[in-house]
Structure 1
Amino acid sequence: MIIRFRKLLPFIIFLPVYGISQDKPMVKFGGALRFNYIYSSWKKEQKKQGGDFMYDMFRINAEASYKGIALNAEYRLYSDEFGGGVLKQGWLAYKFDEKNEIQVGLTQVPFGIQQYNSHNWFFNIGYYIGLEDDHDIGVKFIHQKEEGLNYQFAFFKNAESIAFGGASDVSHSRYSYDVASMDVDGDGEPDYRNKEVNQFNIKLNYKIARNDFKHQLGGYAQYGGLYNLDTEELGHHYGYGLFYELDYKAFNLKSEVLHYAKSPENPETENPDIFAMAAYGSPYLVAAKANLLSLAVAYTLPVSWGPVESLQFYNDFGYIHKIEKEFADSYMNVTGIGVAAGHLYTYIDFAAGKNHSWLGGNFKDDFARGIPDAKWEARFNINIGYYF
C-alpha cells in the first residue's frame, strides 16, 4: 500500500496555534573535531607501520527555536574516501506541550534503543545493517515523559536522498546505512538497485523509576516498500523487536532482540536472499532475512585526574543469525573505555569481529554469505574528539 506524502501536508502546515510559545528567538551552534588512531590485525602494511593516525570528521550542529517551532541539524564532513560531506540529521519540530512533539525532515527512525544501542565509538552490530541510529526523511510524532508509557509513530517517505527523480540510485555518501545499489560483477553497471519508500514505524516503551533503579522496556515495528529500479516493481520489508534497558547508579545495561526481512522484486538474475546497503561512500551486500541479538553493559566511574572527570568501562556484544542456512553468521564485540575531560572525549576501543565487513574478512559480502571458517579479526582504535 502506497500513501502519498502530499496527503500529510495539510496536517504538517496547519499545526495548532496553541502549545509552547517563545517570545525571543534562540539560536545555538556547536560541533566537533575528531581524529582516529587505528591498528588492524588484518592489514599487514598498517601493522608494519605501527598503525595509522588520521582525520575522522568535522561536524557542525545548529539548533534554533521561536514561537514553538524548532530546528535541529547536524552536518558532517568526512574525508572523500568515506563519503565526504553528509547531513546526519535535519528536522523541524513543533511542541504541543512538554510531552508531545512532531518532527518533520531527516529524523531518527524509532527502531530499537535510542539514541544508541551501544556505548563505544563503533556502535553495535545493528548499525551496520541500518538498525541503529538510522535517519530517514518523513514525519514523526513523539509522546515522551519521565515515567509511564511513551510512544512514537512515524511515516518516512524515503531514506535521505540527494538526487531528484525516482529512477536515480541511492547515493553512497550518507551517515545512515540504507538499502542502495552496488556494482557486484564489476561491469560498471549497478546491481541490486533497490530503494526504501513509504515506511511506517511504531514504537512503545514503558519507563519505571524506583529508588536508584530505572527500567525501560518496550517493542517496535516497521513496514515499508522496496522499489526496484530495474524491474520497476515494488517489494517490501519489515522488522520488529523487543528491548530492555536498566540504569542502576553508575551501571547501564542495554539488551535487544529483533527480526528483519527484505523481499525486493529483483531481476531473476539476482539472488533474492541478499540486497545491497551503503554508507560512508561504500556499498556491501547483506542477508535478506536475519535475527539480531545484542547485549551492552557499562559502568561509569567519576575521577579527578587533572582535566579527566570520568571513565566509562563498557563491553558491547552483537550477533546476527542469518536465516539462509548456507550463510555464515556475523559477530561483533567491543571492549573499551570512554574518557571524559571537559570538552574532550576519547574512546579507547578493542573491537573484534567475525564475518563483519568493517572488521577484516571480505568487505563485499561478510554481512551476506560470509565465510564459514572465518577467523576473528580485531582493530584497536583510539578516537579523540573535541566537542564544542
Structure 2
Amino acid sequence: MNFKSLPFLFLFLLTTILSFAQDKPELHVGGALRFNYNYSNWKTDHQKKGGEFGMDVFRLNAKASYKGIRLDAEYRFYSSAFGGAMLKQGWLAYDLSEVNEIQLGLTQVPFGNTTYNSNNWFFSINYYVGLEDDHDMGFKYSHKGEKWEYDIAFFKNAEELTFGDGTDLDNSRYAYDVSSIDLGNGLQYRNKEANTFNGKLSYNIEGSESKHKIGGSVQYGGIYNLDTEEMGDHYAVALHYMMDWKRFNFKAQASHYNYNTAGPDTDSKDLIAMGAYGAPYLVAAEASLYTAGIAYTQPVAWGPVSSLMFYNDFGWMNKTVEDFADAYQNVTGVLVTAGSVFTYIDLAAGKNQPWLGPDWTDGLGAGNPDADWTFRFNINVGYYF
C-alpha cells in the first residue's frame, strides 16, 4: 500500500462522514502555492545564468470540527529532489476549557519561541538541527492563561513513513529529525528518536504599549541505534524571550542540546545524522545556539500592498568539540503583504550552513575552519487561499 496516498483517502472519508452527519460540522479547506527565485553566489551556474526560478511548494490545509473534536492537517507537495509529498502536521484536538487543550497526532514540539523563532523565509539556525517548528508523533497538553502558559508533551517518535523492524528514517519530511546517512560505504549513524518528553513554561507581561513573553523549555528522550539495538539519550534546554513594542518585534533565544548515541565504534560519538527534504547531513552531537531577530512593520497603501515588514535574524551555532568550526546564519529582508499574496525578499548569509553554502554534508558537523561567508539572494512568492 502506498502510504503517501493516505492523506487523500483520509480527507475524502472525512468529507463524506461530515456531509452525512446529523449535527452540522465545520470544514474548511485551504492551502497555498509558492514560487521561489534564488541566486547563490557560490554556484557557478547561478553566476552564469543569473539564478533560478521555479515552484517551491503546493500545499493543502484542512481544518474541521465536530462535537468538540477538531482536526488540523497540512499536506505539502515539493519537487522530488526536495522530498516530494509529505505531511507537515496532522492532529486531533479537544478543548478541555477555554484555556486548556489536548492534541494527539503529528503536532508541533513545544520548544523555544513558537510558532517561529524567526521572521524570514529560512527560519533560524535552530530549525536546521530540529529545534524550531519541529513536528513529531505524540500527545500534547497546553494551557494558555492570561499570564502563564505551559505545555507538557510526550512524543513516541518522529513521523514514521516506513514501518517495520530495523527500518531507517525516511528523509521525506518537513522538519529535521535524527536519521541515517550514506557516506559512501552504506548507511551509518543509524539512529532514531524515541520516547521524548517536552515541557515549556512562559510568562506574559503586558504594558500600555508593549507585550513581553519570557520562558524556558526542556526536552529529554531516547535515541535508538538500529545497528547495536541499544538506546542512548538526548536532551535540550532553552531560554527564550519575545517582545512587541509599537511596530517592533524582538525575539531572542539561547539553547543547548546534546545527543549521547549508542552506535557502533565506527560511528563518531561527536556526530549525528539529521534529515529532511529528501537529503540528510551530519550535525554536531552537542552545541549551543544563540539567536536574535528584530522586525519592524510599516503599513502602506500601494495598490494591493498593505504592509512591509523589515527584519534581520542572526544565529550562531557554537559547537562543543573544539576542533569543530562553528556555524553562522544571518538573514536580512522584507515581507511584502498584498491581499492573499505574501512575498519574502531575503539576503541570506551563511558560514558552515548547508543551505547557504557549498558544504552540505559537514557544514553543521565538523565544519570547515577556512569557510568564508557565502550569500543567497532569495525571493519567495506565495498565494494563500
Q: What is the TM-score of this pair, normalised by structure 2? A: 0.94
In the TM superposition, what whole-angstrom CA distance separates every residue of 1:129-159 from its partner, at most 9, and x where no partner exists? Answer: 00000000000000013x3111000000000
Structure 2: unaligned runs, 5 residues or longer: 1-21
Partner of 1:70: 70
Partner of 1:254: 251
Partner of 1:136: 136
Partner of 1:182: 181
Partner of 2:377: 380
Counterpart of 1:163, as a letter, is T
In the TM superposition, what whole-angstrom CA distance separates every residue of 1:85-129 from its partner, at most 9, and x where no partner exists? Answer: 000000000001110000000000000100000010000100000
Q: Is the aligned partner of 1:314 residue 2:349?
A: no
In the TM superposition, what whole-angstrom CA distance separates every residue of 1:331-361 from its partner, at most 9, and x where no partner exists? Answer: 0000000000000000000000000011113
Counterpart of 1:177, as a letter, is Y
| Cα distance in 2 for residues equivalent to 1:124 and 1:314 | 12
| Cα distance in 2 for residues equivalent to 1:157 and 1:311 | 41
Structural RMSD (CA): 0.9
How far 1:55 sits from its partner (Å)?
0.8
Counterpart of 1:116, as a letter, is Y
How far 1:23 sits from its partner (Å)?
5.8
Where in structure 2 are the equivalents of 1:279-298 lying within 5 Å? 279-298=276-295
| Cα distance in 2 for residues equivalent to 1:116 and 1:198 | 24
Partner of 2:262: 265
Partner of 2:50: 50
| Cα distance in 2 for residues equivalent to 1:292 and 1:127 | 11
| Cα distance in 2 for residues equivalent to 1:124 and 1:292 | 10
SS of residue paired to 2:347: strand
| Cα distance in 1 for residues equivalent to 2:300 and 2:41 | 33
Partner of 1:169: 168
Where in structure 2 are the equivalents of 1:349-388 lying within 5 Å? 349-388=346-385
Partner of 1:37: 37
Q: Residue 233 of structure 1 is aligned with which of 230, 234, 240?
A: 230
SS of residue paired to 1:358: helix
In the TM superposition, what whole-angstrom CA distance separates every residue of 1:227-255 from its partner, at most 9, and x where no partner exists? Answer: 00000000000000101100011100000
Partner of 1:119: 119
SS of residue paired to 2:259: strand
Partner of 1:12: none
Q: Is the aligned partner of 1:157 residue 2:152?
A: no
| Cα distance in 1 for residues equivalent to 2:104 and 2:114 | 18
Where in structure 2 are the equivalents of 1:208-227 lying within 5 Å? 208-227=205-224
Partner of 2:93: 93
How far 1:24 sits from its partner (Å)?
3.0
Contact in 2 for aligned 1:361/1:374 (Cα 8 Å)? no
In the TM superposition, what whole-angstrom CA distance separates every residue of 1:270-314 from its partner, at most 9, and x where no partner exists? Answer: 110000000000000000000000000000000000000000000
Partner of 2:13: none
Partner of 1:148: 147
Partner of 1:335: 332
| Cα distance in 2 for residues equivalent to 1:144 and 1:249 | 23
Partner of 2:6: none
Number of corresponding residues = 364
SS of residue paired to 1:368: coil
In the TM superposition, what whole-angstrom CA distance separates every residue of 1:167-209 from its partner, at most 9, and x where no partner exists? Answer: 110001000000000011x13x210000000000000000111
Counterpart of 2:74, as a letter, is E
| Cα distance in 1 for residues equivalent to 2:286 and 2:117 | 21
SS of residue paired to 2:127: helix
Task: List structure 1 runs of 4+ shifted beyond 4 angstroms.
Answer: none
Counterpart of 1:372, as a letter, is P
| Cα distance in 2 for residues equivalent to 1:293 and 1:267 | 32
Partner of 2:80: 80
How far 1:210 sits from its partner (Å)?
1.1
| Cα distance in 2 for residues equivalent to 1:297 and 1:23 | 46
SS of residue paired to 1:45: helix
| Cα distance in 1 for residues equivalent to 2:108 and 2:298 | 30
Partner of 1:8: none
Counterpart of 1:31, as a letter, is G
SS of residue paired to 2:128: helix
SS of residue paired to 1:126: helix
Contact in 2 for aligned 1:172/1:280 (Cα 8 Å)? yes
| Cα distance in 2 for residues equivalent to 1:353 and 1:269 | 30
Counterpart of 2:87, as a letter, is L
Partner of 1:102: 102
| Cα distance in 1 for residues equivalent to 2:348 and 2:326 | 17
Counterpart of 1:176, as a letter, is A
| Cα distance in 2 for residues equivalent to 1:202 and 1:143 | 12
Q: Residue 195 of structure 1 is aligned with which of 177, 192, 195?
A: 192
